[in-house]
Structure 1
Amino acid sequence: MNKTLRLLLAQAVLLAAGASAVASASAAEVVVIAPSAPPPVRYEAVPAARAGYVWDHGHWRWDHGRYVWVPGHWQVERVGYHWVPGHWAAHGPHYRWIDGHWA
C-alpha cells in the first residue's frame, strides 16, 4: 500500500471515530423544555464554606408536568474552573433548563 493511500485511510478512520464520538455525546444530552416559567426561587440557607467544594443552590426541576424543588448540594471543586449554576432560560414561549457546569 503506498504512503498516500495509507494516509488517506488513516484520516478516514480518524474522521469516522470523531463523528461517532460527537454523535454519542449529543445522544446522551437530555433537553428539558417546560411550558411555563418556574416558580420563584426558594430561599435556602447556604451552609458554611467547605474546603474542596462549592455550593450549588437549589432549583426547580420540571418533572411529569409540574415543577419540583431540588435542594442545593455540594459540588466537588475543580481547580482552575468556576461553577456555573443550572438555570432556566426563556426559549420562545417556553423555558429550557441549562445544566450547571464547570467553566
Structure 2
Amino acid sequence: MKTSYRLLLVQFAFAAAGASAAALALPQAASAAVVVVAPGAPPPVRYEPLPPPRAGYVWDHGHWRWQGDRYVWVSGHWQVARAGYHWIPGHWVAHGPNWRWIPGRWA
C-alpha cells in the first residue's frame, strides 16, 4: 500500500511539474488572443500633430485604450517598418451594445 501511495505522489509531482511548465508558456500564447471589450463608445479621437517622416518607421496614431472601468489615451508612437507590409492601425468597432478593440497589425 505504501509503495502505490509513493508511486501516486511521484506521478502527481510529474503532472504538477508539467502543468507548471505549460502555465509558464501560456502567457505568451494567451497574450495574442486577448479580447478587449468596453461597455460604451470611446471618446472622440484626440488631435495629434503628425511628426515628420522617419526612415524605416511607420507612425501609429494615438488611440483610446480601455483600462479597468474607463478609457485612457495612448499617445501615438513609431512602429519599425516591415518590408513588403503596410500598417493597419488599431481601431474600435461597435459589437452589439459594447465596443471591441481590434489591435493594429501588419498586412
Partner of 1:45: helix, strand, or coil?
coil
1:26: Cα distance to partner? 6.3
Per the alignment, residue 106 of structure 2 pairs with 102
Q: Does 1:40 align with 2:44?
A: yes
Per the alignment, residue 54 of structure 1 pairs with 58
Q: Give the whole-Å Cα distance in 2 for the aligned partners of 1:45 and 1:54.
A: 15
Choose from 68, 71, 84 the match for 1:80. 84
Q: Identity of counterpart residues, as a percentage?
A: 71
TM-score, structure 1 as length reference: 0.74
- One-letter amino acid matched to 2:30: A
State how 1:5-44 maps to structure 2 within 5 Å: 27-28=30-31, 29-44=33-48
Partner of 1:97: helix, strand, or coil?
strand
1:27: Cα distance to partner? 3.2
Q: Give the whole-Å Cα distance in 1 for the aligned partners of 2:79 and 2:30.
A: 25
Q: Does 1:92 align with 2:89?
A: no
Partner of 2:30: helix, strand, or coil?
helix
Q: Give the whole-Å Cα distance in 2 for the aligned partners of 1:63 and 1:26.
A: 21
Q: Does 1:69 align with 2:76?
A: no
Which runs of no fewer than 5 residues in structure 1 stay unpaired?
A: 1-23
Greater Rg by CA:
2
Which runs of no fewer than 5 residues in structure 2 stay unpaired?
A: 1-25
Partner of 2:48: helix, strand, or coil?
coil
Aligned length: 80
Per the alignment, residue 21 of structure 1 pairs with none
Deviations 1:42-96 (A, max 9, x none): 0001100000000000000000100000000000000100000000001011000
